[in-house]
Structure 1
């Protein structure tokens, strides 16, 4: 309470009026004219349920992550006597991060929790229920966390060397065929998981991505209403990828179907290979066993086992996709065509993937303009 307000209150003789003024200062009025205390604010668990209902179009795996991580933060808040948005603060979030670091040794796990909680807090911020600093302190760079696998783009020279080694020593294996396809197509892990044998068309050097949510697989940007979407596309493949897939199908792929009677391209003895299985294969394919880098990392003994320990040299699947996009653009693929091939907006390509300098982009535009003049 400032001194001017105190002096004004001193001039009021009616104690009841003074009490009302003080109470209004403590509890500012809401837009509808009613005073709001913490008890009047929305409950965190109710807001979480509303958030989840607005995310029904997300992939099942994403919703599962939300259900696993966000309630953990709400439980932590309630353990600290905070049940409404009025108690959300940077101090609470900082203490939550401290609790995660006490529970988990893996930075990747902590990143998963904080990333999803940040998404929810940002959703609250858009509704005026949470301050921006509260979710900003969960930025990965702010937290100083480093996941076990690398999430930068896989460089083309390193990808070439790794694939050369796999062709010599693991030719036709699931690991080899998967990385060949991932590097050439730039598919997301969900796309790789969705493929059936019927989607592979070696006679036309292509593979087809189709959205099939009713039979267990989805594509990003697929449409729930009619089962199609702009995530569906036919992708041209290099001859070496065709060969790798044909050798894998002939040699290592088990003759199985999945729970819907479909014949998955990437399979195990139990049916369609899970996305977690495909991730482990990519970790293994890009590990120190096949990398061109010298083993200078003290955390790596050179004999990492992908089922129990992610090698410090390994890459996330998205890093393969990112590297593939950069590699295609560096080779001269136009951004508009890359947008169709990789199912990513031109704006995102220009912001995150285009390897050209600003001067090179200007020169390319100038060449295109001059060519237009001459036609």
Structure 2
């Protein structure tokens, strides 16, 4: 019978006990960099929400302003249609708690940084550009840039941090608490 750790390692596709894994060495540095130098930016908020919700990058990208409950400190995150519970209609979304740091970043972002889209993009997206909802490529690129800026000396060694690395790191935190 497989252990929870083995199942978790298969889900996130990394060995959660490997201290040299990209997530364990770089994600905390990128997060510290974003909190110190880019607090309340779209990139910073995206990373904080990825970590709080443990959601996949695409589901976090799809969050609308209406999905956030500031008073309850929660956000509704969609469940991918590739999951059986979603494709069968049993569960299409879930609720995740937001940390105080994430709520502060969210407040800063929505008040000062968020672009109001010039074109209708369906819903009222949280992560925007002037053309509408931020694309996955735009968010990925902004995290790569932040990762390179956070530790330029190690950027060439194993490559920059990507949104999926942050998701894997967030998932590994659950496994490490077991």
Tell me the TM-score normalized by structure 2: 0.75
Mapped pair 1:318 → 2:164: yes
Mapped partners of 1:153, 1:313: distance in 2: 9
Mapped partners of 1:205, 1:220: distance in 2: 28
The answer on whether the counterparts of 2:53 and 2:98 sit within 8 Å (CA) in structure 1 is: yes
Mapped partners of 2:175, 2:95: distance in 1: 19
- State the shift of 1:243 in Å: 1.1
Higher relative contact order (CA 8 A, sep 6+): 2
Mapped pair 1:241 → 2:110: no
Q: Secondary structure at the match of 2:50?
A: helix
Structure 1 residues 191 and 243: CA distance shift in structure 2, 3 A: same
The answer on whether the counterparts of 1:153 and 1:320 sit within 8 Å (CA) in structure 2 is: no
User: Which 5+ residue runs of structure 2 have no aligned equivalent?
Assistant: 1-20
Aligned-CA RMSD value: 2.6
Mapped partners of 2:90, 2:160: distance in 1: 32
Q: Secondary structure at the match of 1:208?
A: strand
Q: Secondary structure at the match of 2:71?
A: helix
The answer on whether the counterparts of 2:144 and 2:160 sit within 8 Å (CA) in structure 1 is: yes
Mapped partners of 1:171, 1:187: distance in 2: 21
- State the shift of 1:261 in Å: 3.8
Structure 1 residues 231 and 279: CA distance shift in structure 2, 3 A: farther
Mapped pair 1:175 → 2:43: yes
Asked which structure has the greater CA Rg, the reply is 1
Q: Secondary structure at the match of 1:295?
A: helix
Mapped partners of 2:71, 2:120: distance in 1: 28
- State the shift of 1:176 in Å: 0.9
The structure whose residues are more often strand, as a share, is: 2
How many residues get paired? 156
